[in-house]
Structure 1
């Protein structure tokens, strides 16, 4: 049976004047105790032992327990607190040292300290309560946080460390100077929460943490909304992020699974994977990213499946020796390039749809830079569907480019391999190779180009087999300068323009056409003679007549003009 004790500073029959005296009486009896506290302000430090419940008689907020410095409540045993306001400074305001502690409808204010400290091997429940300024620290403990409000923490609002296991549900966290929730070498589940205005990542997982985030809303964050680092694992599901610097960041060996989440108006990147970070991203959406929607860099290696990218600047960028696999991706309405692979990076794109972007795919870098694109559509682009420069290499399989400038282009020392691809309704041309590039095409179809179907320039090499060029307004295939190559089993169809205009360096093997073939050898450009001024000899500062000069010569010949003057 529970023993009851009543506390009131006004006194009365069977009344204790302060909470400490009631606790002492309860401890002496050694029974479960209920201590009911009348409204008022109590300047006390409470040490609670055994099975004790502290409750405000007139409800939440009517009882204030305050200390100028030091701890306010230390719990040993099975302790519950209902409706109290606990205020402390420069210490752990509330500490669960052994056993269990439950706080409901309470408020903790910590000035320059920890609001609540759950020590190793303890269990703490925090429900329907408010935490101001200080953080809640779970160290090697277990915890449950439900329907709580954390405001303006001086560092982290909730810290889960040293093997702790904590669930945070349906809570609001705002204005933390550092993180909203930090999980380090521990496990945490965050569900149905709203986080806003944090100085660093709203949710941080580090040092091999296990973090699960479900159904949360995160906004107005100065850094990442969610960050996984240092080999952390876990998942993010059904979460909405708005106005963060980076929607989600993954680095230093972390490998989360992110599903059905939305990242909107992130100031830099929506999804950011770097420094050997990995991650699998499924059915996500990135809208209006300020810089790059999906960014893999510095050794990052994400897998992105079934995602939509809209508005913003760049769609997907893989740079600085990073990797990435991207499947079932929709990209639309960007101001920059949809897909970018640079600087020793490698990317695989499958079932990609790009619409209304200035450029489709852009690659640039040394020979270690490569992209494979399979079953993709680039539609309504301003410049090119595919552009390959530097020494980069791209392979296209089953790719369609429709309504744009140039379909496929490769230049400088790049290499482009085209298999079973289609270019339709372009204003400039179907495919072009320039510089010292190499273009290899098998079963390429170009239809409705307003200029050329195929073009080679400079010293490029074009090897085109089993391809068809139809209704190209100017010419089916044209080759200029020192460009070389071959057309094998190709056809040029239509009623206007020329079939082939070539420079004599291209082999035409089994060409089928009813249009004219023009051989036009480009002559080398004549350059003016180089004039070298040699000042190793006499220098004359005035006109000199009748002089013969020679040095380092074995013989000298003088020519005389008809009038007798020498030259």
Structure 2
């Protein structure tokens, strides 16, 4: 055991006399490397006095500083109203259970360290200043209870190294500024600011800790580097974990819940990764903005009140094998210049699956979406999106686009099953390209209207109740190798001033007909086939060219009525029979002569 120092002997040893001047210490307690190779002097502090006991911690520290060697200061249970400054290689340890020693001056700092210092089992309470400050060297706090009122709990200043282990930090924050740090198995409760702040080039690891009730962030990393592993964060006022100012943040295996805003946020060109983390009940599961670009893998975002994944204002990010469940508004949202890449994502429940809006971009591959209350894929307002290998089930709408000519969506190898309204709806002036897309079981397969354009290649529509493909307004459809099977209405329908160009299309078993063209709709059907046992092959308004049509069903041709053409006069002695619509006709029968009379707009007759 280390030899105990007597205060009187300590005074004599300073003069070079007394037993401590030549005493040999036979036991060592390791504190850093120095404790492993040198012998340590042991000091005992007791407020009740006693042989070889110092009455306060300050006097014991002074005795240890006078000797200039490693010191172990053991403190008996009690309350000590002292402000401590520790220099050199020193360990402060509670003699009783952790929490039995309370150090609390009336105001100001409690502990300032310069050297290699370890603190074990102490309660440190401060007001209006940093409770613990490491000004130089290293500091380790183990099984400590640190309470800060209107100040910082632990302040690791530049070029220092601070370790917090198995400790409780109440109200204040741990601030690492240009320092190294390790936080293990700690509990941060009700911080009035950020619970852990890593700034100005600091490098900190936070492991297996609990952070709750912070007024601002749980962990904030600003222009620094931090690893957050195996932690739980809850009830923070702002983002539970925040990276800003070109920070590097790595989050692994954490659980975040009941957050007022974002669970995880990367902004201002920050980088890093998030792996295996679960978020529940946040406003946004993860948000990326202003040039940040993280990699997010194997994460789950559940019951987020607005969005699961939110990327905006030139934010980027790669999201792999993530899940979003029951998002209140949008599962994955890219807006205002965002540009994420999403691979292997599963979205279920909630309102909208993926939305790309306001000049944003996005690439989405191997995505599964189901059981939403609204649209699965939305592209609006100058946004551009690429969807590959997508499967959508049990949603009212599959893909919905709207906006000016800069609004585009490309969909390749996708399936839309059991939709409530339509699989694809293209509106405004937007442009959509479908390649290898299947729409099965729902009212309407594909629709294009207003001034929009739809390009469909090698696509298939099956078992729809209201129709296969429709063009309306001034919409344009260009389709090659289009197949519509089992429609309870038409296979292809054009109305208004739409333009439909279909090459090598197949329309089978469509109850009302293979194709129906109405209004001033125009276009072509080239090398198409219509098969079935009922209805007509094509009901043509006379404005659609039928080239090499293959069918055994009847084709009904209507001759378009020109505005300058005179009225048609039909004389029929037995009664008229019309095989097609007749416009502006004058009818007479059972007469040898027929007189034509027309009523003018002013009521006169001619």
Q: TM-score range by the shorter chain?
A: over 0.9
Question: 1:521 Cα deviation (Å)?
Answer: 4.2
**Contact 1:86–1:107 (Cα < 8 Å) also in 2:** yes
Question: 1:69 Cα deviation (Å)?
Answer: 1.3
| Alpha-carbon separation, structure 2, partners of 1:522 and 1:60 | 95
Correspondent of 2:204 among 155, 160, 166? 166
Question: 1:343 Cα deviation (Å)?
Answer: 0.2
| Alpha-carbon separation, structure 1, partners of 2:115 and 2:269 | 36
Asked if 1:115 is matched to 2:153, the reply is yes
Equivalent residue number for residue 438 of structure 1: 476
| Alpha-carbon separation, structure 1, partners of 2:150 and 2:451 | 62
1:364-408 deviations in Å (ceiling 9; x for gaps):
000000000000000000110000000000000000000001100
Question: 1:90 Cα deviation (Å)?
Answer: 0.8
Question: 1:509 Cα deviation (Å)?
Answer: 0.1
For the residue of structure 2 that corresponds to 1:23, the secondary structure is helix
Correspondent of 1:350 among 365, 383, 388? 388
**Contact 2:543–2:560 (Cα < 8 Å) also in 1:** no
Equivalent residue number for residue 180 of structure 2: 142
Asked if 1:57 is matched to 2:83, the reply is no
Equivalent residue number for residue 219 of structure 2: 181
Correspondent of 2:346 among 275, 284, 308? 308
Asked if 1:203 is matched to 2:253, the reply is no
Question: 1:59 Cα deviation (Å)?
Answer: 2.0
1:300-334 deviations in Å (ceiling 9; x for gaps):
00000001000000000000000000000000000
Correspondent of 1:48 among 76, 86, 97? 86
1:69-115 deviations in Å (ceiling 9; x for gaps):
11000000000000000000010000000000000000100000000
Equivalent residue number for residue 557 of structure 1: none
Question: 1:523 Cα deviation (Å)?
Answer: 5.2
Correspondent of 1:461 among 467, 492, 499? 499
Could you list the runs of 5+ residues in structure 1 that have no partner in the other structure?
527-560, 562-567
Equivalent residue number for residue 25 of structure 2: none
- Aligned runs of 1:226-237 on 2, under 5 Å? 226-237=264-275
| Alpha-carbon separation, structure 1, partners of 2:127 and 2:288 | 36
Q: TM-score, normalised by structure 1?
A: 0.92
Residues 50 and 524 of structure 1, relative CA distance in 2, 3 Å threshold: farther
Question: 1:258 Cα deviation (Å)?
Answer: 0.1
Asked if 1:376 is matched to 2:414, the reply is yes
| Alpha-carbon separation, structure 1, partners of 2:232 and 2:53 | 43
| Alpha-carbon separation, structure 1, partners of 2:414 and 2:107 | 66
- Aligned runs of 1:334-413 on 2, under 5 Å? 334-413=372-451
**Contact 1:424–1:449 (Cα < 8 Å) also in 2:** yes
Correspondent of 1:284 among 305, 310, 322? 322
Equivalent residue number for residue 138 of structure 2: 100
1:478-510 deviations in Å (ceiling 9; x for gaps):
000000000000000000011000100000000
Number of residues of Structure 1 aligned to a counterpart in Structure 2: 527
| Alpha-carbon separation, structure 2, partners of 1:74 and 1:382 | 67
Question: 1:519 Cα deviation (Å)?
Answer: 1.2
Could you list the runs of 5+ residues in structure 2 that have no partner in the other structure?
1-38, 565-603
| Alpha-carbon separation, structure 2, partners of 1:184 and 1:522 | 71
| Alpha-carbon separation, structure 2, partners of 1:244 and 1:89 | 33
**Contact 1:244–1:265 (Cα < 8 Å) also in 2:** yes
Question: 1:242 Cα deviation (Å)?
Answer: 0.1
Asked if 1:259 is matched to 2:282, the reply is no
Asked if 1:419 is matched to 2:444, the reply is no
Question: 1:68 Cα deviation (Å)?
Answer: 2.1
**Contact 2:190–2:214 (Cα < 8 Å) also in 1:** yes
Equivalent residue number for residue 129 of structure 2: 91
Task: Provide runs of 4+ in structure 1 moved above 3 Å.
Answer: 521-526
For the residue of structure 1 that corresponds to 2:140, the secondary structure is strand
Residues 59 and 467 of structure 1, relative CA distance in 2, 3 Å threshold: same
